[in-house]
Structure 1
């Protein structure tokens, strides 16, 4: 039995959250560019949840912007799909299966552009969301009169121009536009490109005035791991339990965050935010960006070399190892949380940190440490160095766990082999790839510099860090001590004394 509107009556509602038939009659209120799993697992998840509580009461028209992939499954299943939420929440295993009924239809930008433009005439449609990947928000000299325009900003401008004409430039016809692409200030960047594109297309000043003043482009930050379609064996097991097959079935972690920059007017339009604490509408979302960048990403980065050199290949395995679990928790809560270079409260960092640890423990996500080490050097500079500097300004002492993380980073970057421009380190007689723009730099440095001087040589390099980290009292010595211990005793032996919280001077 295939998941569809007709077959809903045959599905056992004790196994899965089944939508009420009345939801199919709700009007279309959202235009969404993109069919990907992040959109279906986050914005569409929230909208579906709100609809089921009688709050937002609107469905989504999805525009398939790319030629790749097959959208026929959406048609066969009447836009329905199952979200399988799996993970850890408040330290306990969490499982939930939800049939999402938020999508009304999927339109192809290439073959159904006129239907997309028809949506601009719908007065109830007030929201545009997108995830066209980071390269989607770029300026191209796009002709918006093409069917369709090539770029996402071109398509968006064409839609907004149609909207403007349909409602004679009424201020009330403006849209709330929320990109979810993973770039900083995504809303502002999209707005500036759309306005520039309007000028390049020679559109009249009255439209540009409406574009700038009647519409709200909101910066947003999304954070949820959505692996998407599970492997066949797991998918078959889930479908057997649910009693139906679903070509669009997807996995998602429990944690969810969609932080949107906006005021009360934006919140009124995005009323679905009321039903889930995972949607935050705030005048400043930089707090959430900092918490994610430092506590989640920074902890990941500093821990990646430590865990990998300990012989642990996934984040979950590290959280099952007592030494690594202690290291990760102490690093996050005792050193990073107290030194985030932003105005945060202890309660905010504690709550966010606990959520991060739950996410790290998720047995359903196979997150490889080796993938986290990609572009290790730039991640250390961007995510970690500002916290390290702030830690010193607050406490003027060596953060022990950060020193261990730096030592593991430098040792991990010890390339011993080069083949066709690719560099490899070695751990227990096995080679591993060093996927970093600085791989050659470290390959040459480890050959040229005495091991006992490696920490000073690396940490004083202002081209690498933007500043001389040997100026931090005791830090280079602490890092070098740990490099020596990794070399002589192995990573596990280095972690052992950390559990006694001994201080390094």
Structure 2
């Protein structure tokens, strides 16, 4: 079967079974560099960007995507001239959409100099990121981890392979030339993601022996903005059945299919150093208060996702939808949002929190999205602090013991310790701290109290305050005892 390409797509003509690119991809010029061009970016920001370009007629917001570790996305999209499809699943799903906003894909590990060149290109006014929490390579204090071998190698002057290294080297080139102002927009699930990234950039600069680093910092202060944003769309892993579905619809072979729910949301701090796409015409919200939206999403949606992932995986549920169909887990999910999370939130103007809670549960219950529990369970050491432990600390400060948030943390502990579900199947521990967690779990094997105490000592996750709180610790021990029985 022929591959998806612009010329092959044009031969198909108009159709009600798919939506062709809304812009001529071959006419687009690169104006955005995106670090971390995985499935989420292609199903989210790239779609918004194409819709905005179509609404305004602009041809200068094409995307140069960077795949950081594996060249697989480059190998999928380059032979297709950047085209790929978004396959929506669930009530209200659109026909298959062919997206043309990605104009090139670079492999960061294989050609880091090309990434720096693109960031330094005067035509680029935006650098965006979806590299997951661990891609920022922070230490337990939240600063750049200079002991990380990859960070150290970038600081020593090799062609940069970390995202912060690539970004700083690109900004240095811009500062030395005539590239002009640029906005750096983190789209990852981090509290205050813009501020976090801004701090990491300066951490990298401060660690350089380069005497010009100070002048670069001055240029950044004058010419670069780091707005925060909140993104939301469920994007499960693509399956062979999904690819076969697209082949049936298009009569073309697309190696870059991404799957998503119909829902999508993007809330962006309106603080840009230069021009920006009209993402608001595609449904994005520009605001001066991203933090309130961000807290609602992280604490309501992401925390509930994690609770369902760990409890569901332990019970042998393969997907989030299957976990939510378990009445006991559905009750726990709603109780987490109502009893523990809601009292900690500053609700943004215009948001119906009860309606948002119902919408979260409806989205998770979508059986057309086979979002695997073990996929959501990945990187727990990175996710727990931003999704759950803020709620825990706020409730403890208010004099309340967060029973449901503690249940979610206990489920993670049981997941780490047991390593197998209720049917005896292996539960993969895919986590940057996997070795340390396994050692800690082994030290507490066979006893809930020892297990809780051992895992609470992982300071990168729990800090020094939570292990000392007897009420929280006692609830964790009770939950873990039941989950590991």
* 1:178 has 2:185 as partner: yes
Deviates more, 1:149-158 or 1:112-121: 112-121
Is 1:414–1:446's contact at 8 Å kept on the other side of the alignment? no
> Structure 1: how far apart are the matches of 2:154 and 2:104?
26
> Structure 2: how far apart are the matches of 1:392 and 1:195?
33
Counterpart position of 2:457: none
Q: Give 1:35 shift.
A: 3.0
* 1:160 has 2:171 as partner: yes
Over the aligned positions, Cα root-mean-square deviation in angstroms equals 4.5
Please identify the structure whose Cα radius of gyration is greater: 1
> Structure 2: how far apart are the matches of 1:379 and 1:63?
23
Q: Give 1:102 shift.
A: 0.5
Q: Give 1:41 shift.
A: 1.9
Instruction: Name structure 1 gaps, 5 residues minimum.
Output: 416-421, 450-461, 491-505
Counterpart position of 2:353: 349
Is 2:23–2:54's contact at 8 Å kept on the other side of the alignment? no
Counterpart position of 1:314: 319
> Structure 2: how far apart are the matches of 1:284 and 1:29?
26
Counterpart position of 1:2: 3
> Structure 2: how far apart are the matches of 1:176 and 1:18?
30
> Structure 2: how far apart are the matches of 1:55 and 1:232?
36
Q: Secondary structure at the residue paired with 1:2?
A: coil
Q: Give 1:430 shift.
A: 4.4
Q: Secondary structure at the residue paired with 2:95?
A: strand
Counterpart position of 1:28: 30
Change (3 A) 1:112 1:280: same
Counterpart position of 2:103: 104
Instruction: Name structure 2 gaps, 5 residues minimum.
Output: 138-143, 430-436, 452-463
- Superposed, which structure 2 residues align to 1:49-198 within 5 Å? 49-54=51-56, 57=59, 58-66=61-69, 68-69=71-72, 71-87=74-90, 92-108=91-107, 110-111=110-111, 113=113, 117=117, 120-122=120-122, 124-133=123-132, 134-137=134-137, 138=144, 140-141=151-152, 148-167=159-178, 173-198=180-205
Q: Secondary structure at the residue paired with 1:218?
A: coil
Is 1:47–1:56's contact at 8 Å kept on the other side of the alignment? no
* 1:291 has 2:281 as partner: no
Counterpart position of 1:213: 222
Counterpart position of 2:434: none
> Structure 2: how far apart are the matches of 1:108 and 1:306?
37
Q: Secondary structure at the residue paired with 1:149?
A: coil
Counterpart position of 2:344: 340
Q: Secondary structure at the residue paired with 1:104?
A: strand
Is 1:341–1:390's contact at 8 Å kept on the other side of the alignment? no
Q: Secondary structure at the residue paired with 2:184?
A: strand
> Structure 1: how far apart are the matches of 2:22 and 2:266?
26
Q: Secondary structure at the residue paired with 1:71?
A: helix
Counterpart position of 1:501: none
> Structure 2: how far apart are the matches of 1:66 and 1:222?
23
TM-score by length of 1: 0.71
Q: Secondary structure at the residue paired with 1:246?
A: coil
Change (3 A) 1:410 1:35: closer
> Structure 2: how far apart are the matches of 1:28 and 1:448?
55
Q: Paired residues, what number?
A: 447
Change (3 A) 1:165 1:232: same
Q: Give 1:358 shift.
A: 2.3
> Structure 1: how far apart are the matches of 2:319 and 2:417?
22
Q: Give 1:53 shift.
A: 1.9
- Superposed, which structure 2 residues align to 1:79-478 within 5 Å? 79-87=82-90, 92-108=91-107, 110-111=110-111, 113=113, 117=117, 120-122=120-122, 124-133=123-132, 134-137=134-137, 138=144, 140-141=151-152, 148-167=159-178, 173-198=180-205, 199-203=208-212, 205-228=214-237, 230-263=238-271, 265=272, 269-277=275-283, 279-303=284-308, 307=312, 312-321=317-326, 324-326=329-331, 328-329=333-334, 331-332=336-337, 334-336=338-340, 338-343=342-347, 347-369=351-373, 383-384=387-388, 387=391, 402=403, 423-424=417-418, 430=424, 439-440=441-442, 443-446=445-448, 465-469=467-471
Q: Give 1:408 shift.
A: 8.9
**For each residue in 1:89-114, what CA deviation from the matched residue of structure 2 results, as whole angstroms up to 9, or x when unmatched?**
xxx35243111111222345555836
Change (3 A) 1:117 1:95: same
Is 1:144–1:157's contact at 8 Å kept on the other side of the alignment? no
> Structure 2: how far apart are the matches of 1:311 and 1:145?
47
**For each residue in 1:322-343, what CA deviation from the matched residue of structure 2 results, as whole angstroms up to 9, or x when unmatched?**
56545534553x4245323445
> Structure 1: how far apart are the matches of 2:421 and 2:154?
54
TM-score by length of 2: 0.74
Q: Give 1:29 shift.
A: 1.5
Change (3 A) 1:102 1:211: same
